[in-house]
């Protein structure tokens, strides 16, 4: 499955088509019945999870890297830290990564990074020269999780979309973004290697339901996000395990605390949701789709609609006719979202970024091309299903 993400990047670059879909804070887990099936070519690959539509690594990095931060804490001397940047970090400075979960200034990271931190000794760097002092607003040491908060005034916060870790499957492609060895916002790629692992936290308690991955997680990435093929966080990178035979080949596996454990902590703290929920899955319209009969030159072609979401209540319609383009299925005949609140939505990324600035409960106006008619559709957004309450099994 490593080749899955790579193949998407090559396909977009060589084929000139950005047919990359993403569940826009959706949580859609199923497909509707297709009326007509036209097979142009055999499917080259299918994502392991039905709702992981697969963006390219570049697209995910562009969307998510600006929400990943560098965490630094002045702490009391402690035992070995598997993610320390150097031996000096054991004597009073702990460093790692974290990520923004809402525009109110909440940040998720590992508890072991800030354990024993001195008052006022935790700082978060958002970009070179942009640093803020953070306070701990909630921790779950047994799960190696902490929520930090900074004053959002004057900061351009970019929350990451939280996914559902229960949908992860062995073989699913994964990405990690963090600050290995102090190198800010570094991307690495891998797959889910195993599920339901158990690791020991820094206090000796067992952490259950852990995701194992072969994604490269070097010192400094602890606390950063483990991301799925749709750009959603499914875990918080916590530990690595290396071989101890001294051969120096660097063989290691990584472990991430599932995001559902973290969303349960956020719910207990009353932290706001990460972004508003629309409830559609879409692909970017380009010349290749226009050549297949899509009556638009730009926008987001609706692929699926969450039957319980706000888009369904507003009457948005998904495509029903399946075509295969560059080895990926695309559903034609649905609505095309061309804009939101007067701003053009030229791509899935545009729509996702616009939604990230909205709040649950707000009403947005979508410019929708339906057939040959342009209509304005009012939609009252809700909160993301993964942040409406404690973890759902």
Question: Are residues 280 and 243 part of one domain?
Answer: no
Q: How many domains does the chain divide into?
A: 2
pLDDT given at position 185: 76
Element (DSSP H or E) covering residue 348: helix 348-356
Which residues does the annotation mark as catalytic?
A: 112, 144, 222
The C-alpha atoms of residue 388 and residue 393 are separated, in whole angstroms, by 14
Domain that holds residue 255: 68-269
Q: Which of residues 243, 269, 295 is at a domain's end?
A: 269
Question: Are residues 242 and 314 part of one domain?
Answer: no
Tell me the per-residue pLDDT of 349-376, one tens digit each, with 9 for 90 and over.
Answer: 778 777 766 777 889 999 999 988 999 9
pLDDT given at position 316: 95
From first to last of its 393 residues, the chain has per-residue pLDDT tens of 433 333 333 333 333 334 434 444 443 433 343 333 333 332 223 333 334 345 788 888 888 888 999 999 988 765 555 444 444 445 588 889 999 998 889 999 999 889 888 888 899 999 888 999 999 998 888 888 999 999 999 898 889 988 888 888 898 899 999 876 666 778 888 889 888 887 766 556 677 788 998 876 666 788 999 999 888 899 999 887 766 554 545 567 888 999 988 888 887 887 765 557 888 888 888 888 888 888 888 899 998 898 888 999 999 999 888 888 766 788 999 999 999 998 898 888 778 777 766 777 889 999 999 988 999 999 998 876 644 433 322
Q: Residue 183: inside a domain, yes or no? A: yes
User: What CATH number is attached to the domain comprising 370?
Assistant: 2.30.42.10
Q: Which of residues 269, 284, 302 is at a domain's end?
A: 269
What is the Rg, in whole angstroms, of the alpha carbon atoms belonging to the chain? 21
Question: Are residues 158 and 29 part of one domain?
Answer: no
Going by their DSSP bridges, the two strands 93-100 and 321-325 should be labelled as unpaired
Question: Are residues 313 and 217 part of one domain?
Answer: no
- The model carries a pTM of 0.61
Question: Are residues 279 and 136 part of one domain?
Answer: no
Q: Residue 392: inside a domain, yes or no? A: no
Question: Are residues 371 and 231 part of one domain?
Answer: no
Phi, psi of 367 (to 5 degrees): -90, 115
Q: Which of residues 250, 269, 288 is at a domain's end?
A: 269
Question: Are residues 79 and 26 part of one domain?
Answer: no
The C-alpha atoms of residue 173 and residue 57 are separated, in whole angstroms, by 10
Question: Are residues 310 and 254 part of one domain?
Answer: no
Question: Are residues 280 and 344 part of one domain?
Answer: yes
Question: Are residues 43 and 95 part of one domain?
Answer: no
Tell me the per-residue pLDDT of 30-79, one tens digit each, with 9 for 90 and over.
Answer: 334 333 333 333 222 333 333 434 578 888 888 888 899 999 998 876 55
Question: Are residues 93 and 230 part of one domain?
Answer: yes
The C-alpha atoms of residue 72 and residue 94 are separated, in whole angstroms, by 6
Please say whether the dihedral angle defined by the alpha carbons of residues 279, 281, 285 and 291, taken in this order, is positive or negative: negative
- Residue 303 DSSP code: E
Q: Residue 62: inside a domain, yes or no? A: no
User: What CATH number is attached to the domain comprising 92?
Assistant: 2.40.10.120
Cα separation values, 272 from 90, 258, 386, Å: 34, 19, 12
Take residue 47 and report the two structure tokens written for it: 């994502």
Q: Residue 1: inside a domain, yes or no? A: no
Question: Are residues 198 and 79 part of one domain?
Answer: yes
């Amino acid at each position: 499955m490593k080749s899955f993400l790579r193949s998407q990047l090559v396909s977009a670059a060589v084929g000139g088509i950005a047919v990359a879909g993403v569940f826009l804070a959706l949580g859609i887990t199923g497909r509707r019945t297709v009326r007509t099936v036209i097979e142009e070519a055999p499917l080259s690959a299918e994502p392991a999870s039905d709702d992981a539509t697969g963006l390219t690594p570049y697209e995910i990095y562009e969307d998510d890297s600006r929400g990943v931060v560098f965490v630094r804490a002045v702490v009391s001397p402690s035992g070995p830290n598997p993610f320390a940047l150097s031996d000096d970090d054991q004597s009073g400075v702990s460093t790692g990564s974290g990520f923004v979960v809402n525009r109110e200034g909440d940040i998720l990271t590992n508890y072991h990074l800030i354990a024993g931190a001195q008052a006022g000794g935790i700082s978060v760097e958002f970009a070179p020269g942009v640093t803020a002092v953070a306070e701990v607003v909630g921790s779950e040491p047994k799960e190696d999780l902490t929520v930090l908060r900074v004053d959002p005034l004057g900061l351009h916060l970019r929350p990451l979309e939280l996914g559902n870790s229960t949908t992860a499957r062995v073989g699913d492609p994964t990405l990690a973004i963090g600050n290995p060895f102090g190198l800010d916002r570094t991307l690495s790629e891998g797959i889910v290697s195993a599920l339901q692992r158990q690791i020991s936290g820094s206090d000796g308690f067992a952490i259950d339901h852990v995701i194992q991955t072969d994604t490269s997680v070097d010192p400094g990435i602890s606390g950063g996000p483990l991301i799925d093929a749709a750009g959603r966080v499914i875990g918080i990178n916590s530990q690595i395990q290396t071989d101890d035979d001294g051969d120096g080949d660097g063989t290691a596996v990584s472990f991430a605390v599932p995001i559902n454990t973290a969303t349960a902590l956020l719910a207990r703290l009353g932290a706001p949701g990460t972004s508003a929920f629309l409830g559609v899955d879409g692909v970017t319209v380009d010349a290749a789709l226009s050549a297949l009969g899509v009556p638009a030159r730009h926008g987001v072609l609706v692929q699926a609609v969450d039957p319980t979401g706000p888009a369904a209540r507003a009457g948005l319609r998904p495509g029903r006719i399946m075509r295969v383009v560059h080895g990926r299925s695309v559903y034609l005949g649905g609505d095309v979202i061309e804009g939101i609140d007067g701003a053009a939505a030229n791509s899935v990324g545009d729509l996702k970024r616009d939604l990230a600035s909205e709040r649950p409960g707000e009403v947005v106006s979508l410019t929708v091309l339906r057939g040959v008619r342009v209509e304005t559709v009012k939609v009252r957004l809700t909160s993301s299903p993964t942040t409406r309450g404690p973890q759902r099994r």
